[in-house]
Structure 1
Amino acid sequence: MKNIAILTGAGISAESGLKTFRDSNGLWEGHDVMTVASPEGFQSNPKLVLDFYNQRRRQLLKVQPNNAHKALVHLEKHFNAHVITQNVDDLHERAGSSKVIHLHGELLKARSTVNKEDIFEWKKDILLGDYCKCGYQIRPHIVWFGEEVPLLDTAINITEQADIIIIIGTSMQVYPAASLINFAKPNTPIYFIDPNPVFTNSRNNHITVISKNAVSGVPTLVASLIDK
């Protein structure tokens, strides 16, 4: 059974109605990214940061997986398919994918501000005064700028073993996720789905660009891979 690594980003979730949050000027909902997505920002104004993610969590609970998410589920029936996502939503899981790696954390989980291993499900707002079992304030289970990416080594291992790589809804410009492609075996077939594709990788000439959005491009590609 062939191994497939599927790298997904904000573009696939945007088609479900989720805001990507980062504007063209680099602001997130009018905030400088370091204000709402860094340990320093949280220490400086924890209420602002919690409110920012509370809004994102409420929005996530109102949307549904789209046809691109659903199409990827079919790959698991024919391939050893892993989704490596930069997204913090649970739309891949809700669609039915069972092998999902969240590089940047998960919005529907929280964790202790002191013990980073104390992680638990959380679907409501996080407020100041919400404590973990050890009595410490909790925070969103999100990997902020400047923090370690705990699952990066797992993602690298999956990419190294991939016989096929599919890239959906990401420009592969945000590191360390963007570096994953460098761990692919030479000449691994890469399928890049994006309505406005900009992709360069000098190590691999086996790139097929599909100039469609995720909802259109993913089901077509999945069907062609299964039929091969």
Structure 2
Amino acid sequence: MTRVLVVDDDVRVAQTHRELVASVPGFEVVGEAHTAASALAEVGRLRPDLVLLDLYLPDAPGISVMRELRAADRDGGRDRNPVDFLVITAVRDIEQVRAALHGGAVHYLLKPFPLSALRDQLERYAVARRRLSGTGEATQSEVDRLFGLLRPASAHSLPKGLTAATSDLVARTLREAEGELSAAEVGRRTGVSRVTARRYLEHLCADGRAELRLRYGSAGRPEHRYRWAR
């Protein structure tokens, strides 16, 4: 499980994000904080893997939380892997964006945004984290894929002929399915052709968010079955 600390000065927003995180398989919310001081204390106490960090905090900027924890990492002040940050904020100042980037934020989501964008980013983070837990050497294509996972899907990142709206629809259909689906089944549920559904499913597999299993019958070619990567 990926342990998450939600940090936001607005209690209602924090609760909304908490509920969304809890609904994503493989994630659990271990705590909530509404000030910078509380965030620092909770990271030390709870040892989360990921912090959803707002930059508007009443006692100090969220960036200061990142900087202090990163300094502790460099000084060996904590006996665990460095915590990751997913910045969720209305701050649009480019200096703050740059500071978040330099601080090692895995992504920067600007409020307001659809909750599906947060779910998408969490799922991508989970796949990247799972792949980084292995050992050995990585190829350039594997490195490219890992870094690409932390970028949300958009029209320019999709293969030619695919659209973000349909990709989201196919992803949601597979995510909500109980078990595996074929391309034909996905097509029927989404209203697209089997061939089109298969293109999107192959893209999700290449992205690491879906998995392919071949089911062999008594004769003929094996059936391609797809499931959401848990």
Question: Shorter-chain TM-score category?
Answer: 0.3 to 0.5
Considering only CA atoms, is the larger Rg found in Structure 1 or Structure 2? Answer: 2
TM-score, L = length of structure 2: 0.35
Higher relative contact order (CA 8 A, sep 6+): 1
TM-score, L = length of structure 1: 0.35
